């Protein structure tokens, strides 16, 4: 089944404890992206990647890191999480960067930072 998977789905952590949220797609998509969703603010793009080894900042990149060493994986790294990073995170992918409109979204990761 073609899909975007994220792990974990739920995570509660404490301030300053490094964490990684994994994202993987099995559709051979070139473009991958991370969003955070907060009430009343919709989805805001954190980082995106047009292809392997190519990453760019989105609207709200501060406090996050990403890497794209392989085509299928695009992990989101929080080196020192803070409470304002408590949010619902979505990974998305599309076949090509020019087909960003046909993005497939993962199921989401709900992160709580205490």
Partner 1 sequence: GQQLNQSPQSMFIQEGEDVSMNCTSSSIFNTWLWYKQDPGEGPVLLIALYKAGELTSNGRLTAQFGITRKDSFLNISASIPSDVGIYFCAGHLRNNAGNMLTFGGGTRLMVKP
Q: Give me the residues that bind partner 1 (CB under 8 A), please.
A: 4, 33, 35, 40-45, 48, 50, 56-60, 90, 92, 97, 100-108
- Minimum distance from residue 14 beta carbon to partner 1 (Å): 25
Q: What's the first-to-final CA gap in the chain, in angstroms?
A: 36
Looking at the Cβ atoms of 1 and 40, the one nearer to partner 1 is 40
Contact status, residue 71 vs residue 24, Cβ threshold 8 Å: no
- Minimum distance from residue 36 beta carbon to partner 1 (Å): 11
Tally of CB atoms within 10 A around 99: 12
- Minimum distance from residue 35 beta carbon to partner 1 (Å): 8
DSSP state of 95: S
């Amino acid at each position: 089944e073609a899909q975007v998977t994220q792990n974990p789905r739920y995570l509660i952590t404490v301030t300053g404890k490094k964490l990684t949220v994994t994202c993987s797609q099995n559709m051979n998509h070139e473009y991958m992206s991370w969003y955070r969703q907060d009430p009343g603010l919709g989805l805001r793009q954190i980082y995106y990647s047009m292809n392997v080894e190519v990453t760019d900042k989105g609207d709200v990149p501060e406090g996050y890191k990403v890497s794209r060493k392989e085509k299928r994986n695009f992990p989101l790294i929080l080196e020192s999480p803070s409470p304002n990073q408590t949010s619902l995170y979505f990974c998305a992918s599309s076949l090509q960067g020019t087909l960003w409109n046909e993005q497939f979204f993962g199921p989401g990761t709900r992160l709580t930072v205490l």
